[in-house]
């Protein structure tokens, strides 16, 4: 596996979340690394220093989803920024094979990868973060994206979404740099017709140095990446009698099993 492989980026798993895909009981996979430097990031350690988090073996994930898949309403792939991995379509297709639908969270800056995932796994859903009006992208991304680049990339995302309207959800977090007029511009000017915008309340991240070594989502603190699930004596644990590998799963193949 190459260093940029999606299988090397898997750095955390939340076995059950009720907030990452509204209305669904989902498991959440965290991929390390990000192409932005948002000053209010809640997952800054995972995004910018993924080496702090021990990788999770693909075979272990395969065993987990073989055991738990039938009881889940969805699987969320988040980060960090998942679209940085060139073989993300392979991961999404492998997850979808376990049964639950798959949603990918993305900042939209790699529209070509979003299109590639859709081509490989057409049932995939996407939650796209619209960070700000284009002119404020440099401010809210820590200078990682220019206004011109943000416009180019997001217009490509909106074009893909317009061709697959059932597959896309858009959201904006009301960080301190934004005002209600910015949200109105995103909703009424930027978004394609027919889409709605979910506005998320801003929750300040922990100060640098106070950050604990685990990942966070929008509303829920994450457990340590090493604590994948309960102990092997619990029913359905991937090391227990019910946790057999999904036959022919790429999760096993990824580690040479």
Q: How would DSSP label each residue in 89-145?
A: HHHHHHHHTTSS-EEEEE-SS-HHHHHHHHHH-TT-EEEEE--S-GGGHHHHTTTSS
The label of the residue with tokens 């959800």 reads 169
Residue 237 has pLDDT above 70, yes or no: no
Instruction: State the number of CA atoms in the 13 A half-sphere of 174 facing the CB.
Output: 13
| Position 31 in a domain | yes
Cα–Cα dist 204/99, whole Å = 36
Whether 246 is in a domain gets the answer no
232 pLDDT tier (thresholds 50, 70, 90): very low
Query: In the numeric block, which tokens belong to residue 18?
Result: 């009720």
DSSP characters for 34-60?
Answer: -S---TT-TTHHHHH-GGGSPPPPHHH
| H/E element, 208 | none
Burial degree of 169 (CB within 10 A; 0-12, 13-18, 19+): middle
CATH number, domain at 222?
Answer: 3.20.20.70
Q: How confident is the model at residue 144 (pLDDT cuts 50, 70, 90)?
A: very high
| pLDDT tens by residue, 86-120 | 999 999 999 999 999 999 999 999 999 999 999 99
Instruction: Indicate whether 154 belongs to any domain.
Output: yes
Examine residue 255 and state whether it is found in any structural domain, yes or no.
no
pLDDT in tens, 167-189: 999 999 999 999 999 999 999 99
**Rounded distance, CA 18 to CA 84, Å?**
26
CA distances from 238 to 132, 176, 195, 230 (A): 41, 42, 39, 9
Residue 150: inside a domain, yes or no?
yes
User: Does some domain include residue 33?
Assistant: yes
What is the per-residue pLDDT for 256? 33
Looking at the domain assignment, is residue 179 inside a domain?
A: yes
Range of the domain at 144: 6-240
- 53-80 pLDDT, tens digit per residue, is 888 888 999 999 999 888 999 999 999 9
Rounded to two decimals, what is the model's pTM? Answer: 0.81
Helix (H) or strand (E) holding 156: helix 147-163
The answer to whether 129 touches 140, Cβ cutoff 8 Å, is: no
Distances (CA, A) of 47 to 147, 185, 214, 247: 22, 28, 11, 32
Q: How many domains does the chain have?
A: 1
pLDDT at 208 (0 to 100): 53
Answer whether residue 1 is part of any domain.
no
Alpha carbon dihedral 117, 122, 126, 128, in 10-degree steps, equals: 60
């Amino acid at each position: 596996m190459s260093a940029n492989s999606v299988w090397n980026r898997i750095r955390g798993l939340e076995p059950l979340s009720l907030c990452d895909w509204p209305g669904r009981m989902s498991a959440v996979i965290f991929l390390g690394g990000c192409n932005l430097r948002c000053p209010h990031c809640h997952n800054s350690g995972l995004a910018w220093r993924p080496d702090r988090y021990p990788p999770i073996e693909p075979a272990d994930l395969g065993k987990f989803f073989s055991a738990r898949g039938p009881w889940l309403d969805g699987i969320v792939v988040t980060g960090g920024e998942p679209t940085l991995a060139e073989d993300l379509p392979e991961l999404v297709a492998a997850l979808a094979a376990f049964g639950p639908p798959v949603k990918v969270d993305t900042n939209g800056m790699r529209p070509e990868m979003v299109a590639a995932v859709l081509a490989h796994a057409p049932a995939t859903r996407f939650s796209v973060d619209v960070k700000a009006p284009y002119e404020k992208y440099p401010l809210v991304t820590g200078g990682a994206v220019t206004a011109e680049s943000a416009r180019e990339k997001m217009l490509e995302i909106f074009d893909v979404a317009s061709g697959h309207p059932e597959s896309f959800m858009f959201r904006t977090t009301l960080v301190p740099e934004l005002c209600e007029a910015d949200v109105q511009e995103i909703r009424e000017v930027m978004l394609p017709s027919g889409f709605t915008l979910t506005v998320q309340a801003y929750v300040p991240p922990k100060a640098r140095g106070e950050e604990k070594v685990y990942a966070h989502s929008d509303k829920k603190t994450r457990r340590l990446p090493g604590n994948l699930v309960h102990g092997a004596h619990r029913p359905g644990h991937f090391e227990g009698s019910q946790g057999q590998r999904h036959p022919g799963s790429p999760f096993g193949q990824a580690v040479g099993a």
